[in-house]
Structure 1
Amino acid sequence: MKSQDIRSKFLNFFEEKKHSIVPSAPMVLKDDPTLMFVNSGMAPFKEYFLGNAQPKNNRISDSQKCLRVSGKHNDLEEVGYDTYHHTLFEMLGNWSFGDYFKKEAIAWAWELLTEVYGIDEEILYVTVFEGSDDADNLPMDTEAYDFWKQYITEDRILKGNKKDNFWEMGEQGPCGPCSEIHVDIRSAEEKAKVSGKDLINKDHPQVVEIWNLVFMQYNRKANGSLENLPDKHIDTGMGFERLCMVLQGVQSNYDTDVFTPLIREIETITKKKYGKLEEVDVAIRVIADHVRAVAFSIADGQLPSNNGAGYVIRRILRRAVRYGFTFLGKKEAFIYRLVDILSKKMGEAFPELKAQKQLIENVIKEEEQSFLRTLDQGLVLLNRIVEETKGDTISGEKAFELYDTYGFPIDLTALILGEKKLKLDEKGFDAELQKQKNRSRAASEMSTDDWTVLFDDEEEEFVGYDTLEAHVKLTRYRKVVSKKDGEMYQLVFNITPFYPEGGGQVGDKGYLEDAHGDVIYILDTKKENNVIIHFAKNLPKHIEETFKAVVDSKQRYRTECNHTATHLLHQALREVLGIHVEQKGSAVHSKYLRFDFSHFSKLTIEELRDVENFVNARISGKLPLIEKRNIPKEEAIADGAISLFGEKYGDTVRAIRFGQSIELCGGTHVKNTADIWHFKIISEGAVAAGIRRIEAITNDAVKDFYFENNRAYFEMKDLLNNAKEPVKALQNLQEENTNLKKQIESLLKDKAKSIKGALKSELQEINGIQFLAKKIDLDAGGIKDVAFELGSQFDNLFLLFGTEQNGKALLSCYISKELVASRALNAGQVVRELGKYIQGGGGGQPFFATAGGKNPDGIDEALKEAKKYVS
């Protein structure tokens, strides 16, 4: 059975059971601070489990893209070494929100597996929660046990502990007991030796869990206690890749048609054969797995970067590159070539792969090339560390610096050292790594209290599209303490005019005022699992009274100008550059806007001018805002509205139109484009391969920009003695400056030649080395020229020159390459040690290095000390 058919049969089965089939949500989460990525099928539905929203249908089913590479669920380092863990995987799931419970979930799971898929029930085992005698004091799940007895013999119903059979969303939130379904696909001979029940949850590659049925019936509070949920829910998750392994009769997920096309392509590109050598197999599995994770992430709008979710994606890709580099011998980019196979294989189920194929290829290729350059640089640095190390052990601190600063993988460091018959101080490295983790953990440490509920409100209402003031009541609050922000309070109201951060737009600020005149400032507004949360340093004194909530109108207005300008800019770019342009991210603040878009070349001055003119023409055109709220998404798209990849849209959406610009958008906007006053592009540049970024300003910021430029113009003109043509006057100055620089360079070369002759006569022979340590009056470039010219005449030369420039000290050391090899001298080591006399430091190559410092008075002492190296 092909993988496409396996997925279709699952969805069709639950559609027949009255479930709504929904598309996979984007993997990168936008409004959940507890998760970077969707790491389980239930993550996109947390708002329903938490009771913050009601689904259109209480029964839902889908195939959800999941990524487990950070936080509690992190499978990254296991990927490739076993045959059933993945970074990205599909989770087939069915959900009930207060509808059916254990009886139906168990019955349908059994029906699907044994009747629809035809899995032999003799190879299946199930587990149920055995209860706990800890603080929770939970009873055994006898209800699930009794239901399972109707389908499977009791000797294959196993009791599981809390670790394996009690599922929790996190430290707080909905949770409950679960039943796992395991499959034993070993041979009859192996089964005769060891029973499958003895291998459950023992990480056996052929005895694996394929489906987990979670019975959500409790809520974990901040103090650790459990309370019953008002409604009981079902949350199931079945590993698609593992299911394919079972149904396709193979012994590894990588032997299914989910992965075999990728593996064949890797074999073709690398000329390495899968199944012959374990280290090659691991590398091929790593690459086949990781290219899926990276490709889907880019398709969902998350580019590799140096922080947050982007750093995780970059780390996954770099892991794949180094496995190809180390074990497959690939010193050039090749992983991007797998995207074509991937999009053909999975593009039907996930059309974003086809739509974003070119962008994904370009981004991966550039990232590969960049990291390969890093590996080359790291090899040079590692060789330098080896040269400078006395003994046979490389310090963990040095290895960590190579890893942390330059991104050079520690396992590659260990491999290279092993080839050189050297050891790595692994304990020292682990200690440095732990220090970094502790610093990171301390910086992000946060404690969150339970919500204090003042009264239940079915649905919080946002009224900020129509008003900036409202009379509100506090429905709930909680205290949050973090190292970064200190003590804060999160407030929720029955209605609110404050716009929560989203769609690139910053959250509103403002204040609350009670009837007694007391004021509480709202410092930020965010959305978390469909709840609008207001941040304040203090809790209002009279929490049960009605407050007047007021949004900072000046900040909101400026932000609206910039948000509307992003829509007009998007339209302008598609008009000027072509309809291939798609928004890839934005940031809308009160002072500026940032807009990322897909395009493969730098914009010319003419193109930037045309874009700017296009936007300003729409501003001058005084286009009114035409807004449609709560309309079906299909209707908005049919009307021409643009939707963005990576955004999660509901069944109903809000469409924003200004003239011919129509987009799905939840942000706030000006009532008329004339309110923007003017649009000005400040910068344009590359973010990643195929992604450009424009930063721009509007309204008051443009006025300030022109005022500052006008002031600078008259200051410049004044410096040019009020020249009638200041541009021409500047050009004349530049030309004159260039000519003077050439004259100075010529004079310095003559001076260096003169000094070289004098220096040659001052050389001393010490222990067979021509030595000179002297303070000279030349700049860094001149000193280097003199050193190398003298070096060309001697093969046993040791020079140390000192000079003072602009109150700073500079030491330059030259050692003939023959001396570096025969006497184990190293210029980099010399300047690092002598740098202490000038209160500085430096480095370079073994034959030439420099050090800078802030104490010129120490130059003479450093020159004296140099003699010790040759004596």
Structure 2
Amino acid sequence: MKSQDIRTKFLNFFESKKHSIVPSAPMVLKDDPTLMFVNSGMAPFKEYFLGNAQPKNNRISDSQKCLRVSGKHNDLEEVGYDTYHHTLFEMLGNWSFGDYFKKEAIAWAWELLTEVYGIDKNILYVTVFEGDKADGTPMDNEAYDLWKNIIPEDRILMGNKKDNFWEMGEQGPCGPCSEIHVDIRSEEEKSKVDGKTLVNMDHPHVVEIWNLVFMQYNRKADGSLENLPNKHIDTGMGFERLCMVLQGVQSNYDTDVFTPLIREIETITKMKYGKLENIDIAVRVISDHVRAVAFSIADGQLPSNTGAGYVIRRILRRAVRYGFTFLGKKEPFIYRLVDVLTKTMGKAFPELKIQKQLIENVIREEETSFLRTLDQGLLLLDGVISSTKGKEVSGKRAFELYDTYGFPKDLTALILNEKGFTYNEQEFEAELKKQKERSRSASETSTEDWTVLLEDCEEEFVGYDTLEAEVKLTRYRKVTSKKDGEMYQMVFNLTPFYAEGGGQVGDKGYLEVPNGDVVYIIDTKKESNVIIHFSKNLPKHINETFKAVVDAKQRFRTECNHTATHLLHQALREVLGTHVEQKGSAVHSKYLRFDFSHFSKVTVDQLRQIEDFVNRRIDGKLPLEERRNVPVADAMKQGAMALFGEKYGDAVRTIRFGQSIELCGGTHVNNTGDIWHFKIRSESAVASGIRRIEAITSDAVKDFYFENNRSYYEMKDLLNNAKHPVKALQSLQEENTNLRKQIETLLKDKAKNLKNELINELEDINGVQFLAKKVDLDPSGIKDVAFGMGEKHKNLFLIFGTATEGKALLTCYISKELVTERGLNAGQVVRDLGKFIQGGGGGQPFFATAGGKNPAGITEALSAAKNYI
């Protein structure tokens, strides 16, 4: 059975059980601060489980893209070494929100597996939660009784809290679960070892295939449990593992989910899968990781240096280094797999087809960049090896390569091993542990339970229509972190505060308390469909009615910038072409940032056209045409722009200014004339095929012109009020260029004369031509002198010191013969001598420099240099 048919049969089965079939949500989460990525099938439905929203149908089924590479669920380092862990995987799921419960979930799971898919009942085991005496959680007798009517009791196994009790987090909805495991070993293996002894023992052929979670409790901050008002079903079946079972193979990577990718890797690399373990691991890593990266980019998350983008970059770099190390690929090649991936999965996930060109370009550029980093790392590693006494490299130095330059530790170990070296793993792990502890300590947070003041009170956002409202506090909780200290999170029955979303920052403002106090709201965010207000203080008399007031000035400036992003999007498509798509935005009160797809630098002339296009629409005073609760299909028919990677509900809000119409939940000006003016500040590249424009509007533009005007008159004043200041500046530049050329000539002559003088001062010590001297030259001149002397003399060891503007510089040059024969290293020398000038530095084994803040230490440093020979 082909994988596409397996997925279709699952969805058709649950559709027959009156489930609504919904598409996979974007994998990259934008409104849940507790998660970077969707890491389980239930993540897109958290708001329903928490009771913060109601689905149209209480029964839902889907195939959800998931990514497990961060936080509690992190399978990254296992991927490739076994045959069943993945970074990206599909989770087939059926969901009940307060509708059916254990009886139906268990019966339907068994019916689908054994009757529809035809899996042999005799190779299936189930597990049931055995209870936990430590926290008093009871055994799941209900599930046990249901299972024993379906499967022999000797195939029902007891599971502990780790395996058979599911929790959303340290607090929140949770419940026992029943896992269904499958034993696909050969008959010979089964005759030797009973399958039940291998369940949950990480055996590659006795694996969990489906998890049925019975969500019936709420975990409180003190660890106690209380019953949920409504019981829910949350199931998840690993699509890749199901394909392995139904296609009769012994590895997920032998299914048609992966074999087309593996065949393409074999073709590109000329390596054969299934022959050598290291090659097999590398092929599995690459075929898995390209899926994770491609889907992430399609969902709007580009590789970057922070947050979710850093995780995606790390996944891709892991794939690159396995190709580099084990498949011998020293040039980009992973991007070439995107075509195969699109052909195999593009039908189920059309975003791959639509974003194919962008995905390829981004991956290729990332590969190129990291391969350069690997080359740099190899040079640095050579320097570390040459300065190491003995055959063991310091773990601290290996960690420095890993932490500062991103050089993988396993690659470090491999290269060292080839050269007869090792590194101190204990030191490395100790440094890594310190770094993790620093990071953990900085982000440590303690969250109390919600204190509920008003039960069953739905929250209403009124901020589109007003900036002030009379509100009641419905619940609050205290959150303590090392970063922010003590903070209160508050929820109101209604609120005019806009919560951060769609690129727009959350509102700030204050609460007016009846006793005259003011409580400042410093941020507003949304979590699982709830608008949360952040404050350093909690209002006194919490049961009173408060007046909530949004900072009107900040809101207006933000609205100007948000409206301008819509006009900018329209301008880009008009000037550059309809291939332009929004790839991200940040809307603040002071500026806006807009990322978009485009494959070349935007020219100065095009930027001027874009700016003019937006400003004509501002001058046109276009009114806001807003429609709320529009069926999404109707909005699309009207031509509304939808963004990839955004999660839209059945009903949406449309924002229109003239011909610009977009799906958007943000706040906007009532008329484009309110923006006053639009000014582009910069245009740059974010990644291959992604450009970024930063711009300002309204008051920020006025400030910009005011500052420019002031700078102009200051410049004129410096130019003695020249009538034509531009011509006067050009004249000064020409004069400056001529003077610089004269100075350069003089400095070269000075260096040449000095070189001849210094050659006469060389001292022969133990066969080394040695000189340590303080000189009066700039760094470039010192380098020219050192290399010039090196051309005429072998076995040269030079240390030069110079002091400029209160700073010290040490330069070390060592002939390559001395580096090779005597193990001398210029980088190590300047690192050691740098302590005399209260500084440090480094470089290559034959040439290095160190800077410091203590020129008085130069003499002592030069004196100490002789000790090296």
TM-score (normalizing by structure 1): 0.99
Matches within 5 A, 1:37-48: 37-48=37-48
Matches within 5 A, 1:812-851: 812-851=811-850
Q: Which residue of 2 aligns with 1:23?
A: 23
Cα shift readout 1:44-78 (whole Å, capped 9, x = no counterpart): 10111111111110000000000111111111111
SS in 2 for 1:718: helix
Cα shift readout 1:123-172 (whole Å, capped 9, x = no counterpart): 1111111222112x222222111211222122211121221111111111
CA distance in 2, matches of 1:61, 1:109: 13
* 1:193, distance to aligned residue in structure 2 (A): 1.0
* 1:457, distance to aligned residue in structure 2 (A): 3.6
Q: Which residue of 2 aligns with 1:12?
A: 12
State whether residues 53 and 459 of structure 1, in contact with CA within 8 Å, keep that contact through their aligned partners in structure 2.
no
Q: Structure 2: any 5+ residue segments left out of the alignment?
A: none
Letter in 1 for 2:236: G
Indicate yes or no: 2:199 matched with 1:209: no
Cα shift readout 1:589-635 (whole Å, capped 9, x = no counterpart): 00000001111111100000000000000000000000010011010
State whether residues 377 and 407 of structure 2, in contact with CA within 8 Å, keep that contact through their aligned partners in structure 1.
yes
Q: Which moved more, 1:355-364 or 1:722-731?
A: 722-731
Q: Which residue of 2 aligns with 1:484?
A: 483
* 1:120, distance to aligned residue in structure 2 (A): 1.3
SS in 2 for 1:215: strand
Q: Which residue of 2 aligns with 1:339?
A: 338
CA distance in 1, matches of 2:250, 2:766: 70
Change (3 A) 1:761 1:616: same
SS in 2 for 1:762: coil
Cα RMSD after superposing both structures: 1.1
State whether residues 28 and 301 of structure 2, in contact with CA within 8 Å, keep that contact through their aligned partners in structure 1.
yes
Q: Which residue of 2 aligns with 1:659?
A: 658
State whether residues 125 and 157 of structure 1, in contact with CA within 8 Å, keep that contact through their aligned partners in structure 2.
yes
State whether residues 808 and 853 of structure 1, in contact with CA within 8 Å, keep that contact through their aligned partners in structure 2.
yes
* 1:814, distance to aligned residue in structure 2 (A): 2.0
Letter in 1 for 2:97: F
* 1:827, distance to aligned residue in structure 2 (A): 2.2
State whether residues 836 and 858 of structure 2, in contact with CA within 8 Å, keep that contact through their aligned partners in structure 1.
yes
Q: Which residue of 2 aligns with 1:855?
A: 854
Q: Which moved more, 1:777-786 or 1:18-27?
A: 777-786
CA distance in 1, matches of 2:10, 2:404: 47
Matches within 5 A, 1:548-559: 548-559=547-558
* 1:356, distance to aligned residue in structure 2 (A): 0.6
Q: Which residue of 2 aligns with 1:638?
A: 637
SS in 1 for 2:655: strand
Q: Which residue of 1 aligns with 2:777?
A: 778
* 1:472, distance to aligned residue in structure 2 (A): 0.6
Length, aligned pairs only: 869
Q: Which residue of 1 aligns with 2:648?
A: 649
Letter in 2 for 1:472: V
Letter in 1 for 2:735: E
CA distance in 2, matches of 1:634, 1:797: 77
Q: Which residue of 2 aligns with 1:737?
A: 736
* 1:458, distance to aligned residue in structure 2 (A): 4.1
Matches within 5 A, 1:403-414: 403-414=402-413
CA distance in 2, matches of 1:147, 1:322: 49
Cα shift readout 1:374-409 (whole Å, capped 9, x = no counterpart): 111111111111111111111111111100000000
State whether residues 521 and 536 of structure 1, in contact with CA within 8 Å, keep that contact through their aligned partners in structure 2.
yes
CA distance in 2, matches of 1:697, 1:369: 34
Matches within 5 A, 1:262-661: 262-661=261-660
State whether residues 500 and 526 of structure 1, in contact with CA within 8 Å, keep that contact through their aligned partners in structure 2.
yes
CA distance in 2, matches of 1:212, 1:64: 15
CA distance in 2, matches of 1:679, 1:511: 30
Letter in 2 for 1:115: E
Q: Which residue of 2 aligns with 1:766?
A: 765
CA distance in 1, matches of 2:858, 2:71: 52
Letter in 2 for 1:57: N
* 1:289, distance to aligned residue in structure 2 (A): 0.4
SS in 2 for 1:733: helix
Q: Which moved more, 1:831-840 or 1:269-278?
A: 831-840
* 1:37, distance to aligned residue in structure 2 (A): 0.8
Indicate yes or no: 2:115 matched with 1:122: no
Cα shift readout 1:805-853 (whole Å, capped 9, x = no counterpart): 2222222222222222233322222222222222222222222222222
State whether residues 6 and 243 of structure 2, in contact with CA within 8 Å, keep that contact through their aligned partners in structure 1.
yes
Letter in 1 for 2:294: A
TM-score (normalizing by structure 2): 0.99
Letter in 2 for 1:87: T
* 1:859, distance to aligned residue in structure 2 (A): 1.9
CA distance in 1, matches of 2:97, 2:865: 78
Q: Which residue of 2 aligns with 1:684?
A: 683
* 1:794, distance to aligned residue in structure 2 (A): 1.2
Q: Which moved more, 1:752-761 or 1:499-508?
A: 752-761
Indicate yes or no: 2:129 matched with 1:132: no
Letter in 2 for 1:100: Y
CA distance in 2, matches of 1:775, 1:230: 81
Letter in 2 for 1:638: K
Q: Which residue of 1 aligns with 2:183?
A: 184
Change (3 A) 1:553 1:819: same
Matches within 5 A, 1:87-98: 87-98=87-98
CA distance in 2, matches of 1:180, 1:812: 66
State whether residues 396 and 426 of structure 1, in contact with CA within 8 Å, keep that contact through their aligned partners in structure 2.
yes
State whether residues 835 and 853 of structure 1, in contact with CA within 8 Å, keep that contact through their aligned partners in structure 2.
yes
State whether residues 386 and 823 of structure 2, in contact with CA within 8 Å, keep that contact through their aligned partners in structure 1.
no
Indicate yes or no: 2:71 matched with 1:71: yes
Query: Which 4+ residue blocks in structure 1 deviate beyond 4 angstroms?
Result: none
* 1:798, distance to aligned residue in structure 2 (A): 2.2
State whether residues 457 and 475 of structure 1, in contact with CA within 8 Å, keep that contact through their aligned partners in structure 2.
no
Cα shift readout 1:653-700 (whole Å, capped 9, x = no counterpart): 000000000000000000000000000000110111111111000000
CA distance in 1, matches of 2:348, 2:608: 41
Cα shift readout 1:90-122 (whole Å, capped 9, x = no counterpart): 000000000000111111111111111111111
* 1:29, distance to aligned residue in structure 2 (A): 1.1
CA distance in 1, matches of 2:677, 2:399: 50
Letter in 2 for 1:219: N
CA distance in 2, matches of 1:350, 1:650: 18
CA distance in 2, matches of 1:832, 1:162: 53
Cα shift readout 1:635-660 (whole Å, capped 9, x = no counterpart): 00110000111111111000000000
SS in 2 for 1:584: strand
Q: Which residue of 1 aligns with 2:804?
A: 805
Q: Which residue of 2 aligns with 1:61?
A: 61
CA distance in 1, matches of 2:16, 2:141: 29
Indicate yes or no: 2:725 matched with 1:726: yes
Letter in 1 for 2:526: K
* 1:238, distance to aligned residue in structure 2 (A): 0.4
CA distance in 1, matches of 2:457, 2:831: 68
Q: Structure 1: any 5+ residue segments left out of the alignment?
A: none
Letter in 1 for 2:634: E
* 1:780, distance to aligned residue in structure 2 (A): 1.4
CA distance in 1, matches of 2:403, 2:251: 35
State whether residues 457 and 474 of structure 2, in contact with CA within 8 Å, keep that contact through their aligned partners in structure 1.
no
State whether residues 387 and 823 of structure 2, in contact with CA within 8 Å, keep that contact through their aligned partners in structure 1.
no
Q: Which residue of 2 aligns with 1:109?
A: 109
Letter in 2 for 1:287: I
CA distance in 1, matches of 2:198, 2:402: 38
* 1:344, distance to aligned residue in structure 2 (A): 0.9
* 1:515, distance to aligned residue in structure 2 (A): 2.1
State whether residues 126 and 181 of structure 1, in contact with CA within 8 Å, keep that contact through their aligned partners in structure 2.
yes
SS in 2 for 1:590: coil
CA distance in 1, matches of 2:242, 2:211: 12
CA distance in 1, matches of 2:360, 2:575: 24
* 1:704, distance to aligned residue in structure 2 (A): 0.2
Matches within 5 A, 1:104-253: 104-135=104-135, 137-253=136-252
Q: Which residue of 2 aligns with 1:713?
A: 712
